Structure 1
Amino acid sequence: MMSGNINSDEALFSLDIGTRTVIGTVGVVRDKKFHVISEKFTEHEERAMIDGQIHDISLVARAVNKVKSELEEELGFKLEKVAIAAAGRFLRTTTVKSEINIDDDKEIDKELIRSLELTAVKVAEEEVNKNTVGKLYCVGYSVKNYFLNGYAISNLLAHKGQNITAEVIATFLPRSVVDSLYAVTKKVGLSVTNLTLEPIAAMEAAIPQNLRLLNLALVDIGAGTSDIAISSNETISAYGMVAMAGDKVTEAIARACLVDFNGAEKIKKQMDSKKEVDFVDVLGIENTVSYDEIIKIIKPVVEKLSEEIANKIIELNGSKAPNAVFLVGGGAHTLLLKDLLAEKINIPEKRIAIKGRESVTDCVCIDNNLGSTGVTVLGIALVAIKKYGGDFIDVFLNSSVVSLFNSKKNTVMDVIMQAGINPKVLIGRNGNNIRFKLNGSKRVSFGKIGKSAIIKINGLLGSMESDIRENDKIEIEFSQNGENAKAVIKDYVKDVNSIGFYLNGEIQNLEPIFIANGEKTDINYEILDGDDINTIFSQTIGQYKRYVNNNINVEYYINDEKLSDDYIIKEGDKIQSKEKLNENMNVKTIDNEKNTSIENKNEISSEVLNEEKVKYGAIEVVVNDKKIILEGKKEYVFVDIFNYINFDLTTLKGRIVLKLNGEKAGYNNILKNGDIIEARWE
């Protein structure tokens, strides 16, 4: 004992308040190790706690006060401060999915991934809040799966897509739990200097920091609950709890052997070292139970316990087995547990180890008789020694105070989560793009680039992953979304100059015609996503007839010389027009007023003429159930038919319908001999 030379100010008092027992340890730091100078242990007089939950504050306070008084008597000074831990029983864990739509032209970066995770944690908090009253503190989360455009992917970084999803398991601690623990300590005259979580404390004691690079699971099997912590990448990545532990095994023995709970507990403990155990049942009859009989009694319960623990470990660890599993707590020595747990997790039994006090390298103990039961109380002390601070730390976020549960290394991301900030305001989205077709070619008008949030810590640039400490001043300039793309036809027309010419002595101008989704529009039309835009510039006599004058029965002349439909109108041309005579309209339907004999004669002549024209590069098509011959060009496109039919494009009469051989057509579709064409307004 070193207590005679110990100053009360340098002594550290840690307390493990369990379902069946209370363990108090007092020690000091010497040579960077925690030296235990006094330790006391007691059991609750009654079942004041069930499954880790305080049911009777007065009864729990009585047990705590007994331990405290015995320690004070042995040490010779009063204990006023204590380090404690909240049981895993109080943790609220849930699994959720959250998705966000992203710009498919932008690579996914770390900030976007963090924003996705934050969104998922926020959803998880809302889910837990449905069944929990009061404030919650997020004490940890881990990502089970990422998805890109609906497909699972191991890493989103640097990919592109339209949609990303994260499946997250998050753990929360209700503030009410902290209040109930404080009520017990206050009742016995103690103030709390540090509050941690039991899984963290057990991890601190059993798994040194240098081993946490490995993916390990630690299970603290107590009387009422089995607390679980997962380590990876030098941190504790997830927590969980199974509401089943050693008491379930004791209850099975009590029922089978007809003894009370305490009697069953004695049988269970003695069976670890004996082949047979004698006991007296509730009827006063002396009995003997063998090892094999006990195994038969407890196997179904232990199998269920191992299955629950294994499933929770795999769930917390992202649906995969860890590299190894460490067991601590009074229930760690439960018969059959190691074998069955190895089988359920599907790892070799040698990768499951029971950690006792002798393996806690940072502690020097008076004795190690408590074994794995006394590991967590040492961890509580070690967490306090590392000076994580009090149970909460305060930081300033945009001048407002935010309190964080101080169970781990906190980051800006933790502050954002606790402050309830919507993660969407942290990532600036680019404005929506507009995709459309222009004269058959795909075009894109890009939205403006968004501005991501700017994070400063004490005036210096930081990120969501930056570490924060007590009283840090965090300033966040929230993101700004980029403006959506805006596009008008005139932005994509390089030359809109008109051609001026004289027609019958009057000035005329040829200007471009614009068609949006089959309907005539103007140069200032605002293009929408998915639009089909076509521009037509009437430069020839044929195009002028079709799109401007809308009359193919007019002939045009310069100096009494007839102009063909292919003639390109030039600036300053002086053109005269004359109505075409009926006898020259060989491609029009014969006037119904003519007699039958003349009609038949003309039809025969027309057929012969058509055959001749087809031979010399002309093609025959059917437009709106009438035969038309196109001539004078090597190749014809859909728009050429308007030079040969009476169809007014200059006056809007609804939505234009264009079909080629029964299929939807565009102005630039190539025509072939015999094509069936439909052009109409609807």
Structure 2
Amino acid sequence: MTDLKAIKDDLVFGLDIGTRSIVGVVGYLSHQVFHVVAMAEEKHATRAMLDGQIHDIYKVGDTIRRVKNSLERQIGFALTDVCIAAAGRVLKTVNASAEYAFENETRVTQEHIYSLNLLAVEKAHAQVNENSTDIHYYCVGNTPVNYKLNSFDISNLEGHKAEKIGVELIATFLPEEVVDGLYQAVEYAGLHVASLTLEPIAAMNVAIPEQYRLLNIGLIDVGAGTSDICLTKDGSIIAYGMIPLAGDEITEVIAKTYLVDFNTAEQIKVEASDKKEGIVEFKDIMGLTQKIPAEQILKDSESVIDKMADAAAQKIIELNGNRPVNAVFVVGGGGKMASYTQKVAEHLGIMAERVAVRGEEVLGSISFDIDGFKKDSLYVTPIGICTNYYTQKNSFMFVTVNGERIKMYDNNRLTVVDAVMQVGFPNEKLFPQRGEQLEFTVNGKTRLIRGEAGDGAVIMINGKNANLNTKIEQNDIIEVKESTAGAKASTTIGQLDEFKATVSFIVDDKKVNCPRFAYVNGELKSEFYEINNGDDISMADFYTVEQLFTFLDMDMSNLNIYVNNEPAQNDTKVYENFSVKTHGLSDYTVSSGFDDETYSEAEDIQENAEYAENTEYAKSHEDKAAKAGANTEGNTVQEEVKQSDDVVKDIFVLINHQPVKLSGKKKYVLVDIFDFYDFDLSKPQGSDVVLKLNGQKADYLAPLKDGDLIDLYWEG
């Protein structure tokens, strides 16, 4: 007897989760023969499944656990991974094709073939989702119908050199709710899914060997809730289908005819099908013993059997291009009723002997290394589920990404990024995202400031921290939290280099440095203005006479003012290094401005003034600063004005965007502005006075410094 523990890693556990019962098989493949080493079957205690659909996940999970426990007792160790198949209820099939061209002639590998198939499946998936916007479908299987090598048909691409490869395949889809129910029931029983296929695909693997697939043959897997169908032709599987009529239809008729519960009716059906002749004895719901001939039971079921057979035959004709197939193989317990195969043949219009139940005949390559089980059509599907695993072994793996179960081609190099790409996770949500950028213009030139970088995606595998390059393994649970965007870009007028520059004027033979004015969308703004997207900013390279004298806190009344020796008005523009002279105020001294000022000797400054008288210079003020700089290369005398807390000093602030000079104190606080700014508190213009310092509400005793921006107004 084989030491099962020694071949533990080679054993495959398959489950056929049927509507009436669950069959479990454990076995291994050796020299093309599949050896069954353990089998178990458990019926559902209640109708937890209907028509192949799980209705009560936990009750189905309990039944799976009983099957699992029975198998574990037989083999002597725990089972953790299981292969399953989905019934074809609400099945959708799509024919799709795809091509892939290599840059150079390339030898085709399994990975190339997988990628090609995946392209076709993705096309099929897109078609299904396009036509079914309310339901999300999961691909439970795909079957290549034909491969192409450089446009020529070929059965196997692997190992050939090719410039272009192609595939035509059938992809099968079920609603995600159906697939999710299977996974939840299996996981509730303490198992992980190792592979998932479709029940007719599993049955086909056993019932119709490859050498038979040249023929146009149909397969009907008659279960309790559904009858799954597939067709072969020219060496390939060409179609899949399903009808929601199966063994339970017969059971329900028997229950109604003989007034018994569903489970008793199921026993009557099985006994009558096995005996075909003789008496079937049972008790009805009134407690009365009934003895009915098997022939009578079969006769009472004949109408529903005919209905099932007709539906299956019509589906086969539809899938086969409106013509019957040459032969039909029937598997599954529901197809064992005496007249079923005969009626299928009648509705197809083919000879009765060409429709047959396949059990022992197709299980020739199956070895039952256990007692108590015989080769039966009931076991074709569960064994097919096991053998189907070997076509996927070392080729596929299952992982879960954000709750979505996916099947991936396992090339031993799979990482998190492969999984998230397959589920369509957006690339931009994986990597740190920059905040909103800020775009504006300064003096007609576009300025772009990028937002700050955010945080990358947070990735967990089985509850542990991971990254995009972390290798993934079978049944990993991957959770990906989207990356975040950083703070949006921001800046103020005062942070611009253009604003930090000053503009200089020659006022009564002394050089005065003044801060530049910033205009945003035509409006004067302070250095604390927060720049917005699309702002058009211009830095004024001039002062008007009125702005200059307001800044210098000079009284313009009774003064004659000249700019470059020409009479000036209040709105006359004064550009860099222009000469400004006044007459009528002999004892006035020019202020020192915001910070330490640099004064030049009158003789040197006069050169600038004389040069500035040139008419062309006045008209093209854009390059005056450069010319003025070239003309001031003489000896200059710099005066450093040192200020300290012990010295009376003047400062300049902007109150409601107007320059105001504060003087006569060593230090200034916010309340001092009322001594220098005309704001009548005795005549209220509202319910409250709003006083802000640099955009923020401030205390009256808040200290002031040069350049502070103050907002003062009535509110309410």
When the two structures are superposed, what TM-score results if normalisation uses the length of structure 2?
0.46
**Greater C-alpha radius of gyration:** 2
